[in-house]
């Protein structure tokens, strides 16, 4: 393993751990309208966007696992979803997406909306919860989580700066 790879793994691990602690221990007690923010999905797609599909997938699994641990009610939903999201974002960044803030913002927003929809699916389809009771917390969760797009962007952007490939 090269020095650059080791440095990249360490810096990503620090970002993931900080994001996990913020999501699980800090913002879980600061719910707005009963909704808590999701920060780890932003980290997964961020790493995917700047480091490519392979790293996006790997860190997506890690972020998803930690996300499921912090949520306690999602089973393995986020482990699977964030692995796919991280990989797919990396895949898109190879061909379609520019590696900058507008792309990160777009991908993050889509991921947050999909996260909320997936979380709503269980109560809606399997437990018969009315949509009217679900959309509001889902919206609050998405907006609350979106506030962290910018704070998450800078550390990931900086951590991947040295390893980012220049695209022609």
Return residues touching other proteins (CB under 8 A): 23-25, 27-29, 31, 33-36, 38, 70-74, 119-120, 122-123, 127, 129-130, 133-134, 137-138, 140-141
- Cβ-based nearer residue to other proteins, 96 or 132: 132
DSSP output for 121-143:
HIIIIIS---HHHHHHHHHHHHH
The distance of closest approach from Cβ of residue 57 to other proteins in the complex, given in angstroms and rounded to an integer, is: 23
- Cβ-based nearer residue to other proteins, 56 or 137: 137
Closest Cα to residue 164, out of 83, 95, 93? 93
Report DSSP state, residue 12.
Answer: H
The distance of closest approach from Cβ of residue 36 to other proteins in the complex, given in angstroms and rounded to an integer, is: 5
The distance of closest approach from Cβ of residue 148 to other proteins in the complex, given in angstroms and rounded to an integer, is: 13
How far is the C-alpha of 48 from the C-alpha of 159, rounded, in Å?
Answer: 13
Task: Strands of the chain (E only): list them.
Answer: none
Please tell me whether residue 97 adopts helix, strand or coil conformation. Answer: coil
The distance of closest approach from Cβ of residue 149 to other proteins in the complex, given in angstroms and rounded to an integer, is: 18
- Cβ-based nearer residue to other proteins, 2 or 29: 29
- Cβ-based nearer residue to other proteins, 111 or 141: 141
How far is the C-alpha of 43 from the C-alpha of 6, rounded, in Å?
Answer: 18
């Amino acid at each position: 393993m090269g020095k650059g790879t080791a440095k990249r793994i360490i810096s990503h691990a620090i970002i993931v751990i900080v994001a996990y602690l913020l999501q699980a221990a800090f913002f879980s007690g600061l719910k707005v309208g009963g909704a808590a923010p999701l920060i780890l999905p932003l980290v997964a797609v961020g790493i995917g966007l700047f480091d490519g599909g392979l790293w996006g997938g790997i860190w997506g699994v890690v972020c998803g696992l930690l996300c499921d641990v912090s949520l306690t009610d999602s089973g393995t939903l986020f482990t699977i979803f964030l692995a796919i999201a991280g990989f797919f974002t990396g895949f898109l960044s190879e061909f379609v997406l520019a590696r900058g803030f507008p792309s990160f913002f777009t991908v993050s927003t889509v991921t947050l909306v999909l996260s909320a929809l997936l979380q709503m699916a269980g109560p809606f389809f399997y437990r018969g919860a009315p949509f009217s009771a679900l959309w509001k917390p889902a919206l609050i969760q998405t907006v609350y989580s979106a506030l962290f797009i910018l704070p998450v962007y800078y550390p990931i952007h900086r951590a991947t700066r040295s390893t980012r490939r220049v695209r022609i």
